[in-house]
Every structure is written in structure tokens, then in C-alpha cells.
Structure 1
Amino acid sequence: MARTVNEQEYALKRSEILAATRKLLYRKGYDQITIKDVIDEVQISKGAFYHYFESKQALLEALLDQTRAESEVMLRDIISDTSLPPVARLQHFFDTVGRWKVAQKEYVLSLLRSWYADENVLVRLRVQEGMVVHIAPLLNHLIAEGVAEGTFHTAFPDVAGQMILTLLVGMGDTFAKALFVADRSAATIAQIERMIAAYNDAIDRVLGVPAGTLHLIDEATTREWFVLGGAA
């Protein structure tokens, strides 16, 4: 019984450190945060911090895993809503994640700046592997439902979820890198929208649905990122 209490205490303190780090991210951005900042925010010793996280990179990985887990919860809730057909549930997932990111734009932008730093390459790979392990099976289940009812048409429902995640990551990389370019001209936004349209078309093809059935992000959300704040 004592071990269970200790595990609970460990998880609670770890969550407290992550919550404090998220607050610091809003105020300073990840690159400007030091381990001392986190220690001061939580009011723990340096030794206590390293009991929970071996490095700043480990802290970043935990934050990204937490973000992935939040997406997983959203996806599970959406998949369980059988009042909607599979294609509507998949679109609802894309829309929900898009709105969730916009709602905490500064936090997402701060994570993205760190996500592409050279020193965080291994973190990025591990988090992407976690997405495949945790998210792809949920998408596969939803796609298999759609195949069974005849709305999705793919011979590979057992791996289609992983293919969709690959497309999501690819589009996210291109989209995020564009956010950190100063150019906010109409031509640049049009180029981004064309890129998104290409990814949308690819997902429609993977799932065997008519062109224009699904979209990863709508025009209004795209313009909110690039016109109303961006990453400048």
C-alpha cells in the first residue's frame, strides 16, 4: 500500500512541475526558461527537480507527451460518439484539435520553437513514435468502422491511421515552419492554403472518399494563425 501512495505522490509532484512549466512557457517561452526558473516556481530543490526530470529536454518531452495525451483523450471521446458516422467523427477530431491549438496559441508556438531545435531531434522522434503507438490504433478503429459501413474505401484499414498521422506530421512541419517566416503577404497565405489543400486531397485518397470530403484545417483557422498574430 505504501508503494501506491508514493507512486501517487510522485505523479502529483511531476504534474505540478509540468503545470508550473506551462505557466512559464506563456510568460517567457521555452528557450528562455531555465531549470532554476522551474525550481523557483515550484519551490523545490535542484535535487528534487532531477528526481522527476533528468534534463530540460526530458521536461520538454514530458510536456509534448502531455499534449499528445490530451489529443488522445479528445479522439477517444469523439470516436465513442456513435451518433455521428465515422467520416463526421474524423472531421470533428480535426476541427477540435485545430480549435484547441488556436485557443492556446502562445503555448503551442513556444513548443514549436523548441520542437525544431537541433538539440531536440531525439525528443521529436520519441514523441512522434508515441503518437503512432497511442493515436494510430484509435484512428484505425474509426477507419475500420467506416470501411464496414461503406463510407471509407481502403484495403488497409489496419495501417491507414498511421498513414494519416504521417500526413498530419508532414503538414504540421510545413505549416509550423511557415509560421516563423516574417512574410505574411496574401501570396504566402495562398501558398500555405494550396499546401493544405494538397494534404487534404492526400487524406481523401488514402481513405477512398470523394475529393473535398475531409480537411485538416479550414481557411478561417489558417488565416487566424497567419493574419491575427502568427509567430512574429
Structure 2
Amino acid sequence: SNLGSTIAMAFDECVENPAPLDYVKNSCARTTRWLVRCQKEMQRLNSLEGTINPHQMLFGINQGGTYDAIRVSHMQEIAQLGLDGYAIGGLAVGEPTEVMYHIIDEVEPHMPVDKPRYLMGVGTPSNIIESVARGVDMFDCVMPSRNARHGTIFTWDGILHITNAAYETDSQPLDPKCDCPVCRNHSRAYVRHLFKAKEQLAGRLAVMHNLYFYNTLMERIRDALDAGEFAQFRKDYSERLAQRI
């Protein structure tokens, strides 16, 4: 509340996958108790004179590990609280991607249709496309920046590792289909040289490109949804963006 953020996330416990059934049940009950307390406290804070953001929103977080029944039951329970939005947490923490998609498929029908759905900590461009197809609206992930600092570049033809020897004399931009400032002004060979020379500029340029790519990806997803063309967009790009160049 003192930070005045637009959205506050309720405190939760993110269990490891897999985790014992009884522990996950108790953990979900604890997360729900925390959520109820959080909601009451936020209502109190938002009613005070001088609160920095009296319209601050509260999102609850669905937990339950990889147990379908617990996930669904927990989502049904917190959906009754009338929160400003709902998140699916505890995924993308080491379980197979198909397990993550399965949990989303199980939980999504029980999420309020008129509130934002947020998938926490996800993910790759393909993960985002596949999750949008399953009804998710919002995402967050360190992947575009963290991976960039290690030379992993996301492009419209897939993923490339700029430190590979194949790019030593490559005069193409990081992504010929991208118009970000990095791609307009620098070559693959130059960015690779910066990484090999351990110049900090290497990571900065790679992060700039990857963030631009992710922003453009989200923009294109929104445009495809608005135009009723998302199914084709998914067909064209979901597998392509996951391939290694």
C-alpha cells in the first residue's frame, strides 16, 4: 500500500512440484487464510485518508501443486471472494510443460470470466501463445532479460545463441524481421564479439532486443485476437518460436 502499486498480489505459499498430497492441502488452506486477511487489510487501508493509491487492486493466487482436484477446489474457493483479478501460481517451477498446460486447462473454467487471469512466472514465447489459447491474459517472467544476459536471443524464426561460432562474421541483425534499435544498428557478429570480449554492452543490447521482441509479441497477440485471427497466429508461431536456430 505504501508503494502504491496498481496491483498487489496476496501472500501465498508456492510449493515445490511434486509435493506430498497432505502438505499441498494444508498449504492451500494456509494460502486461503492469508488471502482473506489480506483482502480485509487492503479494504481497511484503501479506506484511509492519505492512502497513496486508494484504488489499489488485489489479486489472489491459485495454488495446489499438480493435483487437479486441489487446484480446482482452491480456484472455486477464492473465486467467491470477488477479487480484482486471479493468478495461477506454482507452475513453471520444473514440471514438464505439458503438465503446466494441463493444470491451466483444469483451472481456467473455474476462473471468473470478467476478471483478469494472470499466469505467474511464464514464460517462453511459445508458452505465452499456448497459455493465451487457454484463456490467460497476463504474464511476467525474467526470461527475456535473464536469458539475454547469457546470449540467448528470441527471434521470429526461433531461438538463437549469439555466442555460437556460426555468428562470428554474420553481418545480419539479430533478427532480420525485427525493427528494434539493436537490430537496426548492430550485427550478429558485433554483438557476439561483445559477449566474447565480456563487455557489459553485450547484455544490454541483448536485453533491449528481447524486451522489444516480447512487447511486439504481446501486441501481435492482441491484434490477432481483435481480428479473430488468433488460431492462425498460434498455428504459425507457437512451434516456430520454440525451435532452436
Q: Shorter-chain TM-score: what band?
A: 0.3 to 0.5
More helix by share: 1
Larger strand percent: 2
Scaled by the length of structure 2, the TM-score of the pair is 0.32
TM-score after normalising by structure 1: 0.33
